[in-house]
A = this chain, B = another copy of it.
């Protein structure tokens, strides 16, 4: 991927505010704060890690999530623990990370990786508004598989009651990107030591139809973004653009 221009100042692009918690402290040349860079990384992922605190103990839960504007939603699988006994909001950090390559340098110190990561900070709340919850119940499927909900067996009131959604308005966020492969100390290039970059990619396998499909039930064309061998993040980015054409 091409590395965007560092954007620690306002270049006219919408940008998340710089605060003490999102400022990239180490390797600050790798930090980006503009909406475009942050959102592009978020929208290429299905899974995030959500951190929250209970009685001083941090928890880090992997879960699915999606974005609407500057708001992030996730499924309340951890809601029972995370928001239990919380009448107020809960401070969280939601992180997405892609490992793009392993970087084997000529010394141990310069072994590294190319990666893209976003940390987003805010206060999480349980979605209780009936309309917002209904929209979230559709988006949790259709954001990944556009228009799929319309063809499914309808969600029952009981199922909806058993489902929790959590949302968080992004207050500040940062992206951190490294995309340069091997970067050794100048004098080390003269050494007869092998160095390389090993790409890492997450791809889809061949879809496996449910063995109990009724005769004649075909795979919908709307799932064509998900095909054997494709980069998972490309399928997710395409699905996002279909479902949220205004970004």
List A residues at the B interface (Cβ < 8 Å): 21, 25-26, 46-47, 49-53, 56-62, 64, 77-78, 80-81, 91-95, 97, 99, 101-102, 104-109, 111, 113, 115, 117, 119, 121, 137-138, 140-141, 144-145, 148-149, 151-156, 159, 162-163, 181-182, 184, 188-210, 212-214, 216-220, 223, 226, 232
How many copies are assembled? 2
Given contacts A61-B119, A105-B152, A196-B210, 5 further A-B contacts (CB under 8 A): A59-B93, A106-B153, A108-B141, A108-B155, A198-B205
B residues in contact with A25, CB < 8 Å: 80-81
Interchain residue pairs A-B with the least CB separation, the first 10:
A199-B205, A62-B97, A51-B60, A51-B51, A195-B210, A51-B58, A60-B95, A49-B49, A107-B153, A109-B159
Report B-chain residues with C-beta under 8 Å of the C-beta of A46: 99, 102
